[in-house]
A and B are shown apart, each in its own frame.
Chain A
Amino acid sequence: MINEQSTVSARQLERLAYRRKRTIRRASVGALSTLLVFALLTWVVVNAPGWSRVQATFFNANHAKDSLPFIWDAFWLNIRLFMVTELLVLPLALLIAVVRVVPSPAMLPFKILAAAYTDIFRGTPTLLVVLLIGFGLPALRLAGIPTSLFWLGVIALTLSYGAYVAEALRAGILSVHPTQWASGRALGMSYGQTLRKLILPQAVRRVMPPLINDFVSLQKDTALLSTIGLVEALRAASVYQAETFNFTSLAVAALFFIALTVPIARVTDWMSLRAMRRQVGG
């Protein structure tokens, strides 16, 4: 270990000074550019011929204040909806993804079913699934089928998002190199153990960003459940809008959704960055 204070060479000092200068220059160019572009954008929007009308109809402070309590109450329903749905989507999607990748020939009928499920529900607009489940399922009058709109909505979103998330997970599983399977088996693990302890942890880590992407998308799609009668944030906002002929309430509802998704987006960024560092560092 070197204990005495090391002297910094003149060249190193030069380097540091250069880096400091470069940082300051980059920061000021960035700030200036941001300021310019934002000022330009604001100028364009504010000077648009219809701006005063848009401001009055979409961004009216009084309407925002009046509609806020309704939308806040209703937004709690959105939160409950996506929380419950997400909890159901993950196991369903995992099951479907695993069924589709296991090589066992005995699983063929289930593989066919799983493939049909993902094809059908990924190919159908979520709104359509919501309408079909929301109005069609209770019309069957089968015993045991929930009639509560909350659960019908959860079922519809789970079916739709289960298909997306299953495909993301399947892609993750397939992206794990085949030698990993071989290694697990060589270590004496059973097929199931290899899958559970070796493959899935790697697979899930790799597809975390797309999974969170689907999660964010699910949060927003809870608004689709307004069509079956649930008064969630969007519906509360449109009720207010229909009464007052002012769209501000919709902008307020949008803010609620943004406030929820932005933190998650930042977390995703951070996680991808961390994963990248780990892979590079490892």
Chain B
Amino acid sequence: MKKTLWAVPAVLTLMLASACAPADDKSDDTDKASGDCAVESLALQTSGKLTVATDDPAYEPWFADNDPSNGKGFESAVTYAIAEEMGFDASDVVWTKVPFNTSYQPGEKAFDFDINQISITKERREAVDFSEPYYTAAQAIIVKADSKFAKATSLADFEDAQLGAQIGTTSLKAIGQVGAAKDALVYDDTTKAAAAFENGNIDGFVADLPSAFYLTAVELDNAVIVGQFAPETGEPEQFGLLLEKGSKLTGCVDKAIKTLKDNGELAKIEAKWLSESANAPVLK
């Protein structure tokens, strides 16, 4: 659904967590919100409030129970972590609804930022601002719930599986990491790969995790995400917060995301909501 763009120049991800995180400083609230990024000096929609947009309905595992404000689900958790990092209280976060397709259109925005699995692409960058990516898509393997591969716990378990993926995707490149003996089957688009999966021509369908969530929830019957793994090559899809073009907020949001990356908080949120509670263990 949220379309992948492969020709996008890779946005630098500074995922390297510092070897030893600094000891948690209890009085770092002032530190976080210092300088230009203090809450009072931010150019907000409503002063003192952080107005955050997402689509309605908000789907799992990005949100939970269609309620962005409960702090559950990956993107809800990320939003509250960023808000806290920027110096807001959880109660200062105000949610608003913006359909996905209109979010990246040019023009004035009625939100401070939009969080809605929006891929960072060059075309969209012409019209809007993007924050640092808060998520880099992992690759997922989808299998039939009743197949022997549904019990796989490692990439090596797919040795005799027939895998398939869409042409020109990071998923297709990442199939090499799985180490299946048979050559992968290659499809023009996800629909055809899904049809082949339903027909049993492929045992395992490799797609990026966000697409896999959508596919298993909506498109495919009797299909489960058996696990996920990080692609070693290619330019994986990255999600960023969307802000109005030229927003003065972008720099401050970036700073918060960088901090969350450096202190490992973002990785923890991802592990919690996109792996553990989403039933998509990381395959070794």
Mark A residues whose CB is within 8 Å of B: 135, 138-139, 147, 149, 226-231, 235, 238-239, 242-243, 245
Contact = CB atoms under 8 A, between A and B. Distances in A.
B186 A139 contact: no
B187 A239 contact: no
Given A135-B199, A239-B172, A229 B192 contact: yes
A230 B187 CA distance: 8
A2 B186 CA distance: 76
B146 interface: no
Nearest to A74: B183
A139 B195 contact: yes
Task: Give chain B's interface secondary structure class.
Answer: mixed
B172 A135 contact: no
Interface in B141-200: 164, 167-168, 172-173, 183-188, 192-193, 195-196, 198-200
Given A135-B195, A138-B201, A149-B201, A227 B168 contact: no
Given A135-B195, A139-B195, A238-B167, 16 more contacts: A138-B200, A138-B201, A147-B199, A226-B186, A229-B185, A229-B192, A229-B196, A229-B202, A231-B185, A235-B167, A235-B186, A239-B167, A239-B168, A239-B186, A242-B167, A242-B172
B92 to A, nearest CB: 45
B196 to A, nearest CB: 5
Task: Give chain A's interface secondary structure class.
Answer: helix
A184 B173 CA distance: 65
Given A238-B167, A242-B167, A147 B201 contact: yes
A145 to B, nearest CB: 10
A243 B199 contact: no
The 7 closest A-B pairs by CB, nearest first: A242-B168, A229-B185, A138-B199, A135-B195, A229-B196, A229-B187, A231-B186
A279 B182 CA distance: 54
Nearest to B166: A242
A231 B196 contact: no
A149 B195 CA distance: 13
Nearest to B169: A242
B169 to A, nearest CB: 8
Contacts of B164: 229
A147 B198 CA distance: 12
A26 B1 CA distance: 66
Contacts of A138: 199-201
Given A135-B192, A243-B173, A231 B201 contact: no
Contacts of A245: 7
Interface string B9-38: 000000000000000000000000000000
Contacts of A235: 167, 186
A238 B166 CA distance: 12
Contact of A139 (B173, B192, B198): B198
A135 B188 contact: no
A231 B183 contact: yes
A238 B183 CA distance: 15
A120 to B, nearest CB: 22
Contacts of B185: 149, 229-231
Contacts of A239: 167-168, 172, 186
A227 B188 contact: yes
Contacts of B199: 135, 138-139, 147
A235 B167 CA distance: 9
A147 B201 CA distance: 7
Contact of A228 (B6, B196, B200): B196
Contacts of A227: 187-188, 192
Contacts of B6: 242
Nearest to A245: B7
A229 B198 contact: no
16 contacts: A135-B199, A139-B195, A149-B196, A226-B186, A228-B192, A228-B196, A229-B187, A229-B193, A229-B201, A230-B185, A238-B167, A239-B172, A242-B6, A242-B167, A243-B173, A245-B7
Nearest to A137: B199
Nearest to B189: A227
A228 B164 CA distance: 11
Contacts of A229: 164, 185-187, 192-193, 196, 201-202
A243 B173 CA distance: 8
A139 to B, nearest CB: 6
Nearest to A241: B168
A242 B186 CA distance: 12
A247 B6 CA distance: 16
* Residue of B164, B184, B185 ringed by the most chain A CB atoms within 10 A: B185
Contacts of A147: 199-201
A231 B201 CA distance: 13
A206 to B, nearest CB: 41
A281 B35 CA distance: 101
A149 B185 CA distance: 10
A19 B193 CA distance: 67
Nearest to B233: A243
A41 B14 CA distance: 53
A229 B168 CA distance: 14
